[in-house]
């Protein structure tokens, strides 16, 4: 079983926290997670979002040019059914 996961990567923790504040103000669900190593060895944190919200979040980033991102990446992750 595969599912899509979308991550926003940052050059620094400060940028990640700045976007977190914007997402909170706009009541957009997100999770702060370690950056998947297959994407980057950047600052260490990334924000995981619903892939369907990518365009909406890109608009928010454009409206907040002080927030720098390394990119928005969607990858397939294999779901493990360890207990099935």
The domain total for the chain is: 1
Kindly tell me if the per-residue pLDDT of 21 is higher than 90. Answer: yes
Of the two residues 76 and 69, the one the predictor is more confident about is 69
Residue at 9 is within a domain: yes
The rounded distance, in Å, linking the Cα atoms of 21 and 78 is 30
Q: Residue 48 belongs to a domain with what CATH number?
A: 3.30.70.120
Q: Confidence band (pLDDT; 50, 70, 90) for 44?
A: confident
- Is residue 84 within 8 Å of residue 18, measured between CB atoms? no
Task: Print the domain residue range for 24.
Answer: 2-78
Residue at 83 is within a domain: no
**Helical pair 13-25 and 54-63, crossing angle rounded to 10 deg:** 110
Q: Rounded to two decimals, what is the model's pTM?
A: 0.84
- Is residue 5 within 8 Å of residue 79, measured between CB atoms? no
Residue at 84 is within a domain: no
């Amino acid at each position: 079983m595969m599912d899509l996961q979308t991550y926003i990567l940052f050059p620094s923790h400060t940028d990640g926290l700045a976007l977190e504040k914007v997402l909170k103000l706009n009541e957009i669900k997100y999770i702060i997670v370690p950056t998947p190593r297959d994407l980057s060895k950047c600052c260490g944190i990334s924000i995981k979002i619903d892939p369907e919200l990518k365009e909406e979040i890109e608009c928010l980033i454009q409206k907040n040019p002080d927030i720098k991102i390394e990119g928005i990446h969607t990858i397939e992750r294999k779901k493990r059914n360890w207990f099935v």
